[in-house]
Amino acid sequence: MDFLTLKVSHLKKYSKFAKLNPLLFKWKLIPTILKTNLERGLRRIIFYIQAWYPLGHGDNTLIEEPIFTELAKKYGKSNAQIILRWHVQSENIVIPGSKNPQHIKDNIAVFDFELTANEMSKISNINKNKRYYVPNPKLTASYAKMELSPELDV
């Protein structure tokens, strides 16, 4: 099933005949594109949800949302770290992509602070339903040519 066309009705149909539920489902998941009913339905039948492009492919319009800037100041973290912490507290498996050694270090350092329930809900309520990644041949070709930066190429 293509996750872009997945609907709550599909989950209901699935639950009627499935004997074994999937353990993991990789789903496009960033704070602004939560589909609440679908997410609730998924969480009922699937044990782990893994965020697909957890930082919106690094899209600045996501990373620079005012709520992330506000919380980054409060906790002395970067905006990206606030997004990643939101994923962790939402119990999403999160594997951000980065070729930048400093970002890689930052992306691990999200376990020394905790967002409040109110902050979690403010983030979840951004919900602009915006798509940050629209595949096209140029982008697909750039993935195929992606290389590690020299310091990571061990």
Cβ closer to ligand NAP: 22 or 97?
97
Asked if 28 is part of the footprint of ligand NAP (rule: CB under 6 A), the reply reads no
Cβ closer to ligand NAP: 28 or 35?
28
Sign of torsion over alpha carbons 148, 88, 133, 65: negative
Give the range of 17-25, 68-76, 96-104, 112-120 binding ligand NAP by CB under 6 A: 96-104
Asked if 31 is part of the footprint of ligand NAP (rule: CB under 6 A), the reply reads no
Asked if 55 is part of the footprint of ligand NAP (rule: CB under 6 A), the reply reads yes
Per the document, the length of the chain is 154
Q: Which of 25, 27, 39, 56 binds ligand NAP (CB under 6 A)?
A: 56
Say what angle helices 66-75 and 117-124 make with each other, to 10 degrees: 160
Q: Smallest distance from the beta carbon of 121 to ligand NAP, in angstroms?
A: 22
Asked if 99 is part of the footprint of ligand NAP (rule: CB under 6 A), the reply reads yes
Asked if 106 is part of the footprint of ligand NAP (rule: CB under 6 A), the reply reads yes
Q: Residue 50 is which amino acid?
A: Q
Q: In what order do the strands lie in the sheet with 92-94?
A: 24-28, 48-52, 92-94
Rounded-to-integer distance, Cα 116 and Cα 54, Å: 20
Asked if 72 is part of the footprint of ligand NAP (rule: CB under 6 A), the reply reads no
Asked if 75 is part of the footprint of ligand NAP (rule: CB under 6 A), the reply reads no
Q: Smallest distance from the beta carbon of 140 to ligand NAP, in angstroms?
A: 10
Rounded-to-integer distance, Cα 6 and Cα 14, Å: 11
- C-alpha distance from residue 136 to each of 53, 133, 141, 145 (Å): 16, 9, 9, 15
DSSP 126: T
Residues that bind ligand NAP (CB under 6 A): 52-58, 78, 80, 95-100, 103, 106-107
